[in-house]
Amino acid sequence: MDRKYSLGEYIDIINKALGDSVYAAKDGQDYITEAMRYSLENGGKRVRPVLTLEFCRVCGADIDNAIPFACAVEMIHTYSLIHDDLPCMDNDDYRRGKPSCHKKFGEEYALLAGDGLLTLAFETALDGQTSVTDANKVKAISVLARLAGVDGMVGGQVLDLQSEGTSPSLEKLQTIDRLKTGALIKSAVLLGCYAANVNDKKLLKSAEEYAACIGIAFQIVDDILDVTSDSETLGKPVGSDIKNEKITYVSLMGIDNAKAEVRALTDRAVKALDAFDGDTSFLKEFAVKLADRNK
């Protein structure tokens, strides 16, 4: 319970658990599980599941409690990436330096692979936990469903699509990203707390504040990298925001002001951790790493 983990250790734990979660399919269905596994195992920073595990640890519980929740969050994130890459959405041929799911398996199977990961997420979330109370399991599933749906990630994607070719305000852009990117990060930290059977409203509110700040900061950094980086470094096409006529933080604020906003949000995220009694040094350093990343 008191053991601290490195980022690399967390990623290894998550990758193994994800690999174990995609079980063998019946004859004739293995092609879709291959597509699901391909997308899950195609690298990634594992930001969301890492947060789930670390918030569970900070709140005083064994991270084993949180592994099913962590896998569920990453499955939902991965399903969203599969669907984002489809021709009807962002039409991206590469993801993390490899062919997108639809380029390798076909559009119809990519669509179904995303659907499969979404449903497997909820099955996985309820698997194997013995120390999490039933009440907190229900809270966790409710939060995950809501923040992955119309009130969260899906709703943010809708607003993002509707904003193409328009000139949304900074406030509207923040609303889009609070839902599209921030909602699933919020669910990740809350599920970590629920895995530790935390019900203290002050702690949950502080966890939400941390998530909200790094969620917006994460998206601003994405916008900055879309105009300052290259496809080889990012492992995906750059310049898609300009191509799709999307308004971004860079286009509204300029690069320098966007970078300043990232620093301010990171400071707020670090401050929010003061509410926790446990060692939050990992979470503080993690927020800074996300702000300083180059891919």
pLDDT at res. 233: 62
| Contact of 84 with 222, CB cutoff 8 Å | no
Is residue 157, in this structure, part of any structural domain at all? Answer: yes
- 1 in a structural domain: no
Q: What separation, in Å, do the N-terminal and C-terminal C-alpha atoms of the chain show?
A: 32
Closest to 285 measured CA to CA, from 56, 5, 75:
5
φ, ψ at 98 (rounded to 5°):
-125, 160
**Cβ-contact 33, 22 below 8 angstroms:** yes
Asked whether residue 103 is assigned to any structural domain, the reply reads yes
pLDDT value for 86: 96
Alpha carbons 35 and 78: distance in angstroms, whole number: 11
Contact predicate 131/198, CB 8 Å: no
- On whether residue 96 sits in a domain, the answer given is yes
Length of the chain measured in residues: 295
Give the pLDDT band (50/70/90) at residue 137: very high
pLDDT digits (tens, 9 = 90+) for 84-126: 999 999 888 988 889 999 999 999 999 999 999 999 999 999 9
Task: Please say whether the beta carbons of 255 and 227 come within 8 A.
Answer: yes
Query: What are the residues facing 94 on neighbouring strands?
Result: 99
Q: Is residue 34 classed exposed, middle or buried when 0-12, 13-18 and 19+ CB atoms within 10 A define those classes?
A: middle
pLDDT of residue 106: 96
What average pLDDT does the segment 135-152 reach? 97
Q: Tell me the CA distances in angstroms from 50 to 181, 192, 276, one per residue in order.
A: 16, 9, 18
pTM: predicted TM-score of the whole model, two decimal places: 0.93
Tokens of 31: 């092609």
Structural domains of the chain, count: 1
Nearest residue to 81 (alpha-carbon basis) of 65, 58, 98: 98
Report the chain's mean pLDDT, rounded to a whole number: 92
**Assigned domain for 2 exists:** no
Tokens of 192: 């970590």
pLDDT band at 52 (very low <50, low <70, confident <90, very high): very high
Going from the C-alpha of 166 to that of each of 36, 118, 221, 293, the distances in angstroms are: 35, 31, 22, 29
Three-class SS of 110-132? HHHHHHHHHHHHHHHHCCCCCCC
249 assigned to some structural domain: yes
CATH number assigned to the domain comprising residue 173: 1.10.600.10
Q: So what's the pLDDT on residue 254?
A: 93
User: What is the domain range of residue 284?
Assistant: 7-292
Choose the weakest-confidence range: 83-92, 105-114, 160-169, 263-272: 160-169
144's tokens: 């995950």
Find out whether 25 and 33 touch, Cβ atoms under 8 Å: yes
Residue 84 lies in a domain: yes
